[in-house]
């Protein structure tokens, strides 16, 4: 027989109800936890996909196809012809083989080729000693000059890759305002930084380009963007396959090599005695050198005895 309770739950019934409510709360909490875990995992997957997408965009944006090399340097060099005019050429297409410069017309025209690194102190000494003499030969029509800028010494500029930046800048001027390139080349050596320094800043390089007369905004952007950086690397690699080019400076006169430096080892040509280089030029031209107190436009041929 049950005891009347006036409609109220017994103690046991209340206990069971509390247990049921607790069970339902636990189930709800577990469902919420599972739902949050699924959402979190989904969020991580979405985030990872987003990160991968960003990385892919950055990589695709940074890996641009190589463009053509600088105009007027299809041979990997700038050719200043007898008289001083620059030979105009289209830019070298990616993967193409450089086109050698034509031989100067006339048996008496001297062909001078220089492989230089704008960080190389030996190159600076050679330029200081002989640049004016070479300029005189070119201006008088006695010689042509081919300038091959290369980047052997990037490791000596405290991580700024100065050799590459300077060679790129020369290519920029050759591409946009080739008639200013030789003057710019000379200014880079007149203001040459020391080895194991950071080299000239881009602003300084641009200022020297302006002083040379290359004042266009396209030259400035080309220098800052290192437009021809890839070409510089390729041209430097190609230069190492040229017979006799084992370091800088390498100076070739009518096919005869004046220098013999091997990355800082002994240099066979005189760097500071212009008379020695004049004698070499004369010998390469097949004439007798006679030292004079004043500069002569070109070596004087030895008269052939008659009869």
- DSSP letters spanning the chain: -PPP-TTPPPHHHHHHHHHHHHHHHHHHHHHHHHHHHHHHHHHHHHHHHHHHHHHHHHHHHH-PPP----TT-TTSSEEE-TTSPBPP-PPPPTTPPPPPPPPPSSTT-EEEEEEE-TT-HHHHHHHHHHHHHHHHHHHTTSEEEEEEE--TTGGGSTTS-HHHHHHHHHHHHHHH-GGGHHHHHHHHHHTPPPTTS----HHHHHHHHHHTT---HHHHHHHHHTTTHHHHHHHHHHHTTSTT-SSS-EEEETTEE-----TTS--SS-SS-HHHHHHHHHHHHTS-----SS--SSPPPPPPPP-
Residues 103 and 211 in one domain: yes
Residues 146 and 263 in one domain: yes
CATH assignment of the domain containing 236: 3.40.30.10
Domain hosting residue 101, numbered range: 78-285
Q: Does 6 fall in a domain?
A: no
Q: Does 68 fall in a domain?
A: no
pLDDT value of position 15: 66
Residues 111 and 237 in one domain: yes
Q: Does 26 fall in a domain?
A: yes
Q: What is the pLDDT of residues 22-52, one digit of tens each?
A: 677 777 777 777 777 766 666 554 444 444 4
Q: Does 304 fall in a domain?
A: no
Q: Does 69 fall in a domain?
A: no
Structural domain tally of the chain? 2
What whole-number percentage of the chain has pLDDT above 90? 57
Q: Does 72 fall in a domain?
A: no
Q: Does 71 fall in a domain?
A: no
Q: Does 201 fall in a domain?
A: yes
pTM beyond 0.75: the answer is no
Does residue 53 have a pLDDT over 90?
A: no
């Amino acid at each position: 027989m049950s005891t009347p309770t006036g409609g109220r739950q017994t103690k046991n019934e209340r206990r069971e109800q509390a247990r049921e409510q607790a069970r339902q709360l636990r189930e709800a909490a577990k469902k919420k936890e599972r739902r949050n875990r699924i959402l979190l995992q989904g969020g991580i997957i979405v985030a990872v996909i987003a990160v991968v997408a960003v990385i892919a965009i950055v990589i695709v944006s940074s890996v641009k196809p190589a463009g053509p090399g600088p105009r007027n340097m299809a041979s990997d060099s700038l050719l200043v012809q007898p008289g001083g005019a620059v030979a105009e050429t289209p830019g070298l297409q990616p993967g193409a083989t450089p086109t050698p410069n034509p031989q100067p017309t006339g048996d008496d025209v001297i062909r001078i080729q220089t492989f230089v690194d704008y960080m190389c102190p030996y190159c600076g000494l050679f330029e200081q000693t002989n640049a004016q003499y070479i300029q005189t030969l070119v201006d008088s029509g006695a010689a042509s000059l081919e300038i091959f800028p290369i980047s052997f010494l990037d490791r000596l500029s405290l991580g700024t890759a100065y050799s590459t930046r300077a060679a790129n800048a020369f290519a920029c001027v050759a591409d946009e305002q080739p008639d200013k390139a030789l003057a710019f080349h000379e200014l880079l050596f007149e203001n040459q930084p020391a080895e194991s320094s950071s080299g000239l800043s881009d602003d300084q390089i641009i200022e020297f380009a302006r002083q040379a007369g290359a004042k266009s905004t396209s030259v400035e952007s080309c220098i800052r963007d290192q437009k021809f950086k890839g070409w510089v690397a390729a041209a430097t690699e190609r230069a190492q396959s040229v017979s006799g080019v084992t370091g800088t400076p390498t100076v070739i006169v009518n096919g005869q090599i004046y220098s013999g430096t091997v990355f800082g080892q002994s240099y066979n040509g005189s760097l500071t005695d212009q008379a020695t280089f004049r004698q070499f030029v004369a010998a390469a031209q097949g004439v007798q050198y006679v030292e004079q107190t004043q500069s002569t436009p070109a070596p004087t041929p030895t008269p052939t005895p008659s009869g």
